[in-house]
Structure 1
Amino acid sequence: MFASYRRLFAAPGALAFTLTGLFARLSFAMTGVSTVVLIATRRDSYALAGAVSAAGVLAVAFALPLSGRLVDRYGQARVSFAGVLLAVWPMTGLLLCTHFGAPAWTLFLCCAASSVIPNLGGMARARWAHLYRDDPAARHAANSLEQALDELCFMGGPVFAMLLCTSLFPEAGLLVGGVLGCGGLLLFAAQRRTEPPVQPPAAVPTRGALRHGGLRVLVLVFAATGVVFGSTEVSTIAYADSLGQKPLAGGLLALVAAGSCVSGLAFGLVRSRIGGAGRLLLGVAAMTVLLLLPLAAGVSGAGLAVLGPALFVAGSGTAPTMVAGMTMVQELLPARQLNEAMGVAVAGILIGISTGAAVGGMLAERAAPGTGFLLPAGAAGLALLTALAGHRRLGARPVAELSASAA
């Protein structure tokens, strides 16, 4: 396995941008927990903390496609440096306003204004797509590696944030996360030799990436997958709390991420002749079937000893879906729109996570323990139906490729 992934780093600079990007990834995983703990501690209101955090997620979802379009037009380095300069002030303002008791609306404003930092995961995948533009197998392995790195950061980030906030002071998580995020993004942007060149503008004015029918299908699939993520988190916490074992919820969620990480690395080693659309369908189908396991464990009242392994196995179904979907984004859109398309895809995931968390919370309050796992299983089924309905659109080639074929 390691030999297969080691060859990815044979390209000069590949290891450097991967390692520097880890700091920014870790920061992103820390932000949500750090914001909630900080505001809940300083303002004694979980309602306000959750509302501010949700507003920040929605602002990021809105900003990512816009920043992605700027990256496509001006390059990763220029937009990253500008994003850090613009984001550092509202980040600082959120810390100060929370600490010194400023009005609540200032917290919403600062949290939303700090969303201008571009999507590092999308930029990293764009670099892999450029480095191995003539090697589909290497691109598949690189996307699998990226998904595994995301899962690792989302396993360690919240734990690290909680440790900082509880052992030092409430602002420590957001402060350290901000330093890691800004510093990691600047170091990533400084790796110029792996930065994809800015593509010349098209002869015909380029439409927005979301105008592509295949990307619209993928965004709907990603949004449903986001609902799986958000509702699984809330349902797991609520179920553990109903059994009087809420402190174990963090470990259960880590099992979900661990299952996804392992399956992502394994999926990257698979050499299949099935096209990208076929791999996406298989991934979504597997995710749908495997999510029946935690549903069965929760509804039957089997307890956490059974739920834990079920969540690990269920988590193994999400990474192939994400890897295949991100690979499809790279295949469907021309290079001049890749970062915008990645931003649109991640925005769909974030909107799905917020929706899943909100609906999952309401279901957990009104239904019997374990019933909440119906929501992630249903969302996965919806993702499968969407992928099946849009299968033909997923087979469309980018405009640039069609033009080259005609020539």
Structure 2
Amino acid sequence: MILFLAARPVTAPPVRPAPRRRRARFRPLARLRPFAPYRRIFAVPGTRAFTAANLLARLPMGMLSISAVLMIAGSRGSYALAGAVTATGLAATALAGPWTARLIDRYGQSRIAVPATALATLGSLSLLLCVHYGAPDWTLFASYAATATTPNTGGMSRARWAHLFRDDPAARHTANSFEQAADELCFLLGPVLATLLCTTLFPEAGTAVGAALLLTGVLLFAAQRRTEPPVAPRTAGHAPTRSPLRLPGLPPLLLTFLCTGAIFGSLEVVTLAYADAHGIRSTGGALLALQAAGSGAAGLLYGLLRPAARPGRRFLVCTAAMAALMLLPLLAASTGSPAALAVALLAAGMATAPTMVTGMGLVQSRTPPGQLNEGMTLAVTALLGGIAAGSAGGGWAVEHLAGPGAAYGVPAAAAALALTVTLLTARRRPDRP
């Protein structure tokens, strides 16, 4: 038997091509791999819930201001009064916002955000009632100033991502990119929804719906306790923590954010004036939506890149790209073609989100974990201050320069100023990624 088996010819086993067929079968799924970073961060339990709630709470940020303008101007017949009331609220937010964020860092998001939002909601409802029943003008200022306690919902969401991925720079970069795209989406949809509600239902509808969404979203967000970052422990006799404004490297970033906010504020005013001057006033919002859409798409794509080993250098590159692309609307407006301006605004928006994402990452790296909400709120405050200054500068340029087309030099100048500040204050030592 052994001799018989030994005499049998030995043949190689047949080759099975099954593995190749399997790889070919799953090739379409491989195309989705570029979006794996986003799938990975949302695979963490609780992230989808707090993100959805935060988006609901963040949408009114793009609604409440324009709703107040439409409501006050429609009932009192004065855009000057409406603008003064909203400017007062913006100034009050710049003062109260960092203090609210400091309390959130000290006592936790759920303990502070809910009562702060409730007070802000009461301010919005008070404004609505004062407008509806014809109360004196000073009551409008007082009511809208009470909304300054609105917490920085985007900052609280970024703080949760920073806590969940404190040891994963790549995941933090992807999360910050998503948050920036979410900001663009809210500021894109918010004004459209507010205008629709105020013009089709009744003038107070935008403020009422915005206040309801804000309170509901914050309540749902605060209920997600398992993803809430813990409060930094404080021992007895612990010295008071100094303000993030005194931390090295943060004030130059805030100055750059101030210049970036001036880009947004002036671009909005000048674009609306350009559309009005060319007889296409109804499409002014659509032109601004193209800029926000370009920024949001660029933010999502930027999140697929690896985080920079030297974020300070990448921030310099991003601000340089933003300064270069902001020249496109100025050149397109000189041609007198709204279509060319639309393309230019879409392209110009593609540099703002990467700049904001990298800048927010630098704010996180230069701010202690126990002061993260305060640091990011200071960045948002700088943006708001820049938006206010940019709006005023853009309005002045529209009236005193040679037409709205030339006024596009204001956002271009603000972008150049942001680049200059970044160049002059660039840090030589690399930042922690």
Tell me if TM exceeds 0.5.
Answer: yes
Is the Cα contact below 8 Å between 2:37 and 2:171 reproduced in 1?
no
* Equivalent position of 1:276 in the other structure: 311
* Equivalent position of 1:233 in the other structure: 268
* Equivalent position of 1:247 in the other structure: 282
Task: State the AA in 1 paired with 2:245.
Answer: L
Q: 2:324 is matched with which residue: 289, 292, 296?
A: 289
TM-score, normalised on structure 2? Answer: 0.89
Aligned-partner SS, 2:242: coil
Q: 2:244 is matched with which residue: 174, 193, 209?
A: 209
Is the Cα contact below 8 Å between 1:233 and 1:357 reproduced in 2?
yes
Residues 17-53 of structure 1, C-alpha deviations (whole Å, 9 max, x = no match): 0001111111111011101000000111111111111
Is the Cα contact below 8 Å between 1:72 and 1:337 reproduced in 2?
yes
* Equivalent position of 2:49 in the other structure: 16
* Equivalent position of 1:133 in the other structure: 166
CA RMSD across the alignment? 1.4
Distance 2:286 2:429 in 1: 37
Distance 2:121 2:274 in 1: 38
* Equivalent position of 1:318 in the other structure: 352
Task: State the AA in 2 paired with 1:244.
Answer: G
Is the Cα contact below 8 Å between 2:312 and 2:430 reproduced in 1?
yes
| Consecutive aligned runs of 4 or more in structure 1 exceeding 6 Å deviation | none
Residues 65-102 of structure 1, C-alpha deviations (whole Å, 9 max, x = no match): 11110011000000012112322322211001011111
Is the Cα contact below 8 Å between 1:91 and 1:110 reproduced in 2?
yes
1:158–1:273 distance in 2 versus 1, CA, 3 Å: closer
- 1:43 maps onto 2:76 in alignment: yes
- 1:337 maps onto 2:358 in alignment: no
Task: State the AA in 2 paired with 1:219.
Answer: L
* Equivalent position of 1:219 in the other structure: 254
Unaligned 5+ runs, structure 2: 1-33
Give 1 or 2 for the bigger CA radius of gyration: 2
Deviation at 1:240, TM superposition (A): 1.2
Is the Cα contact below 8 Å between 2:117 and 2:215 reproduced in 1?
yes
Distance 1:193 1:123 in 2: 14
Task: State the AA in 1 paired with 2:365.
Answer: E
Distance 2:35 2:207 in 1: 34
- 1:100 maps onto 2:127 in alignment: no
* Equivalent position of 2:381 in the other structure: 347
Is the Cα contact below 8 Å between 2:330 and 2:412 reproduced in 1?
yes
* Equivalent position of 2:7 in the other structure: none
Aligned-partner SS, 2:427: helix
Distance 1:3 1:345 in 2: 29
Is the Cα contact below 8 Å between 2:310 and 2:431 reproduced in 1?
no
Is the Cα contact below 8 Å between 1:286 and 1:317 reproduced in 2?
yes
Residues 158-208 of structure 1, C-alpha deviations (whole Å, 9 max, x = no match): 001111001100000000000000110111111100000001237543111
1:48–1:393 distance in 2 versus 1, CA, 3 Å: farther
Is the Cα contact below 8 Å between 2:170 and 2:307 reproduced in 1?
no
Distance 1:239 1:81 in 2: 41
Q: 1:357 is matched with which residue: 376, 386, 391?
A: 391
Distance 2:318 2:68 in 1: 33
Q: 2:190 is matched with which residue: 128, 149, 157?
A: 157
Distance 1:394 1:79 in 2: 36
Distance 2:36 2:270 in 1: 38
Distance 1:155 1:98 in 2: 26
* Equivalent position of 1:183 in the other structure: 216
Is the Cα contact below 8 Å between 1:151 and 1:260 reproduced in 2?
yes
Residues 94-150 of structure 1, C-alpha deviations (whole Å, 9 max, x = no match): 001011111111101100111112100000000000000000010000000000011
Distance 2:248 2:288 in 1: 34
- 1:377 maps onto 2:412 in alignment: yes
Distance 1:63 1:49 in 2: 21
Aligned-partner SS, 1:12: coil
* Equivalent position of 1:56 in the other structure: 89
Name the count of aligned residue pairs: 397
Is the Cα contact below 8 Å between 1:217 and 1:394 reproduced in 2?
no
TM-score, normalised on structure 1? Answer: 0.95
Is the Cα contact below 8 Å between 1:214 and 1:394 reproduced in 2?
no
Deviation at 1:233, TM superposition (A): 0.5
Deviation at 1:3, TM superposition (A): 2.8
Residues 332-376 of structure 1, C-alpha deviations (whole Å, 9 max, x = no match): 111011011011100000000011001100110111221111111
Distance 2:363 2:246 in 1: 13
Q: 1:196 is matched with which residue: 229, 234, 242?
A: 229
Is the Cα contact below 8 Å between 1:20 and 1:185 reproduced in 2?
yes
| Identity score, percent | 55
Residues 269-289 of structure 1, C-alpha deviations (whole Å, 9 max, x = no match): 112544111121111111000
Task: State the AA in 2 paired with 1:328.
Answer: L
Distance 2:248 2:429 in 1: 8
Residues 291-319 of structure 1, C-alpha deviations (whole Å, 9 max, x = no match): 01001111x23310100000000001100
Q: Note the 1:298-313 alignment, pairs <5 A.
A: 298=333, 300-313=334-347
